[in-house]
Structure 1
């Protein structure tokens, strides 16, 4: 998958997106600190399976618009997902979602179960699992100061965080690391990171849906990196116990960004889930 170059105006804002293939639609929702680049080794294989694949950058992320006056919280991104599907004329989709994308997918599926055929969440934020102590301290005490940090200091901060997101640190070096840092390689990009991402790291968006999982009527598969340092495995087990009929798949040797540690396994899990006759919504 190449960098997103298509643009679509949705609810008055521009989203970078990619819509390829034919067949049953599946939409990929990335996490933070990230953008749709994280799906680059996954999406082409899912397209090759005969599915229509939509990937997009969340508002304020990647190559999507970074509006100064627009809410980019998990709740607002969930509403925007509904507008995106309406703009694309999609009544029902499969959702594959990671990290905060998982929270967006869960919120959307709870609010609109009739529009989600199947839901796969990967290493999702949930309950009170976020933000981490590092980010909470920045939010509480240093947000404005952090937004004004130098490029060198910012790169060092984000590199430390991204390296924690993989089980194998070698996966987050060179061109891969540069691609994750690239959207923030300017004063605007750094400020946007704190304003559109970090400012909205807030567990109320996941805690307020924790008693509504019985509304999920579609098949749900939870895929989790066994060595996830950001979202420990016990949250995956709690989710699988609370979501009716959910399947839990634990990927050994993978961290939070399991599509970096083991993209082949991620592809296999998505293909299996979307083709499983037992997982028909």
Structure 2
């Protein structure tokens, strides 16, 4: 679709009430969700898209990526799809984007399903980085440091870095055998990451979410486990329902797709 003179890659699966999926990263792509969420297409129309500069979507000139631009893109997508209101399914950074959009356009949001959530402010984003580093072995930290230097010289890729980080995102490393390979835009990751640290503060806007049903499905062994998400997110939106996914890390969709799909089916089927 052409949105604001830029092409954004969108794919839909199934028929029914639409659910718009917001991928993580920042800098990932819609393929993260596939094939894991496909069972939801039995009842819903799944709308998956690549955010600006991600996957098959056009890059932004001069790398002017921002949270504000992603919110704008999502609103343009809603209009293009001719939807009065949208259901949102946000994963990791996508959970933050869902909350950003909902506090900007609360009247345009029907329901929000969050998983691998980060929180209502940059505090959660920074805590995620700190907790991840705590979990890492000294050997992997050293490898990461060297790879970061190589990346700056163009002699390594973000995929090399993810090969080190991936095992820390799951409860069981066996899960990685099922993980679909997808692209990650390191520039988008860095630019929006910096924007988050400087400007992601929604705690004062939490009241705008009061009329929107929200469910949060968090892995028991996520880098930010349920008890942390309670203080980083649910404390500000107490009407949100927090569900713990047992024996699961950050990638709930990949590790426990049946549980996530079951919760999503129940949540989106319920009347407000």
Q: Same fold (TM over 0.5)?
A: yes
TM-score tier by shorter-chain length is: 0.7 to 0.9
User: Is contact 1:30–1:38 with CA below 8 Å preserved after alignment?
Assistant: yes
User: Is contact 1:102–1:124 with CA below 8 Å preserved after alignment?
Assistant: yes
User: Is contact 1:75–1:205 with CA below 8 Å preserved after alignment?
Assistant: no
Take 2:50 and 2:22, find their aligned partners in 1: how far apart are those partners? Answer: 8
CA spacing shift, 1:143–1:205, aligned 2, 3 Å:
farther
Alignment of 1:209-224 (within 5 A): 209-216=202-209, 217-224=211-218
Aligned-partner SS, 2:8: strand
User: Is contact 1:123–1:236 with CA below 8 Å preserved after alignment?
Assistant: no
Deviates more, 1:53-62 or 1:34-43: 34-43
Per the alignment, residue 139 of structure 1 pairs with none
CA spacing shift, 1:163–1:73, aligned 2, 3 Å:
farther
User: Is contact 1:74–1:103 with CA below 8 Å preserved after alignment?
Assistant: no
Take 2:110 and 2:151, find their aligned partners in 1: how far apart are those partners? Answer: 41
Deviation at 1:19, TM superposition (A): 2.0
Mapped pair 1:146 → 2:151: yes
Instruction: Please point out which of 87, 91, 94 is paired with 1:94.
Output: 87
Deviation at 1:154, TM superposition (A): 4.2
Take 1:205 and 1:23, find their aligned partners in 2: how far apart are those partners? Answer: 36
Instruction: Please point out which of 71, 75, 80 is paired with 2:73.
Output: 80
User: Is contact 1:60–1:197 with CA below 8 Å preserved after alignment?
Assistant: no
Per the alignment, residue 179 of structure 2 pairs with 176
User: Is contact 2:18–2:86 with CA below 8 Å preserved after alignment?
Assistant: yes
CA spacing shift, 1:9–1:261, aligned 2, 3 Å:
same
Per the alignment, residue 195 of structure 1 pairs with 187
Question: Could you report, residue by residue, the CA deviation over 1:59-111 in whole angstroms, capped at 9, with x for unpaired residues?
Answer: 12222222342532222211111111112211211101011111110011111
Deviation at 1:112, TM superposition (A): 0.9
Question: Could you report, residue by residue, the CA deviation over 1:97-142 in whole angstroms, capped at 9, with x for unpaired residues?
Answer: 011111110011111111111011112222212242589xxxxxx9
Instruction: Provide the aligned C-alpha RMSD in A.
Output: 2.4
CA spacing shift, 1:67–1:145, aligned 2, 3 Å:
farther
Aligned-partner SS, 1:97: strand
Deviation at 1:205, TM superposition (A): 3.7
Consecutive unaligned residues of structure 1, counting only runs of 5 or more, are 1-7, 136-141, 185-192
Take 1:12 and 1:125, find their aligned partners in 2: how far apart are those partners? Answer: 31
User: Is contact 1:74–1:100 with CA below 8 Å preserved after alignment?
Assistant: no
Deviation at 1:268, TM superposition (A): 0.4
Per the alignment, residue 260 of structure 1 pairs with 254
Aligned residues: 250
TM-score by length of 1: 0.81
Take 2:188 and 2:10, find their aligned partners in 1: how far apart are those partners? Answer: 18
